Amino acid sequence: MIAADLLVAQNVGFGIISLLMIIGAVRVVTVSNVVHAALWLVIVLSGAAAQYLLLSAEFVAITQVLVYVGAVMVLFLFGTMLTRARIGAESDLNNKNWFLGIPVALLMLGVMSYVIVDGFGSERLIDNSGDMQPIPVQLISDDIFGPYLLPFWALSFVLLVAVIGAIVLARKD
């Protein structure tokens, strides 16, 4: 018998979206066509956006859609279509060293689980399912441009360096 407080709409939604994301993630690495793999990745990334929405983290969800679905995946597809995007299955898509990825993935899983358990431990989300209020954008901007200003600057500096590097690499003269 499942406890009654587990069978709320949010949990059911979480389950369905997670299932879709897992199927999508497996298909990304098993499918034998580059464009299909990219499209399965779109499903995984939009699933992440939907999960953020379930947590009423509206701003993060929209950012996820804008950055990953709208920009990163479009660039992925654009790049593959310019170079090697044939229709139909390709046989030589798998890297022959693919098994090296397994220990790396397990290590990442371990590190992530440790960080999350260590950081939040027994903390629980506040149950405000009665009237879930989205987090105001002002709070997020106050945080980013307040205590996290220095990391924010450092990140934008890294991006600037990357952009200049790309221009240097692309210039012929």
Partner 1 sequence: MSALLAADLPYWVQSLLRVLGGVVAVLLPAGAIVYLFLFKMMSFMQSRLGPMEAGPYGSMQLFAEVGKWLQKEDITPERADRVIFKIAPLVVLASTFLLVAVVPFGPDAWFTNFEAGVFYMLAVSSVSVLGILIAGWSSANKYSLLGGLRAAGQLIAYELPMVLAVIGVIIQAGTMNLQGIVLAQNTGEMFGWNGLGNPYILTQFTGFIIFMIAVQAELTQTPFDMPIAESELVSGYMTEYSGFRFLTFFIAEFATAGVFSFIASVLFLGGWGVPFAWFGWTDIDSVDNWMNVVGPLIMFGKMMLLSFVIMWVRFSYPRFREDQLQRFAWKVLVPISLVNIMVTAILKVAL
Per-residue interface string for the shown chain with partner 1, residues 93-132, x marking contact by CB under 8 A: ----------------------------------------
Contacting partner 1 within 49-68 (CB under 8 A): 58-59, 62-63, 65-66
Closest separation in Å from C-beta 102 to partner 1:
30
Provide the angle, in degrees to the nearest 10, between the axes of the packed helices 34-54 and 9-30.
Answer: 160
Contacting partner 1 within 144-173 (CB under 8 A): none
Residue in 12, 22, 71, 107 binding partner 1, rule: CB under 8 A: 71
Contacting partner 1 within 22-51 (CB under 8 A): 35-36, 39, 42
Nearer to partner 1 by Cβ, of 25 and 65: the residue is 65
DSSP per position, the chain = ---GGGSSHHHHHHHHHHHHHHHHHHHHHH-S-HHHHHHHHHHHHHHHHHHHHHTT-HHHHHHHIIIIIIIIHHHHHHHHHHH---SS--GGGS-TTGGGHHHHHHHHHHHHHHHHHHHHTT-------SSPPPPPHHHHHHHHTTTTHHHHHHHHHHHHHHHHHHHHHH---
Closest separation in Å from C-beta 21 to partner 1:
18
Binding site for partner 1 (CB under 8 A): 35-36, 39, 42, 58-59, 62-63, 65-66, 69-71, 73-75, 77-78, 81-82, 85, 87-88, 134-137
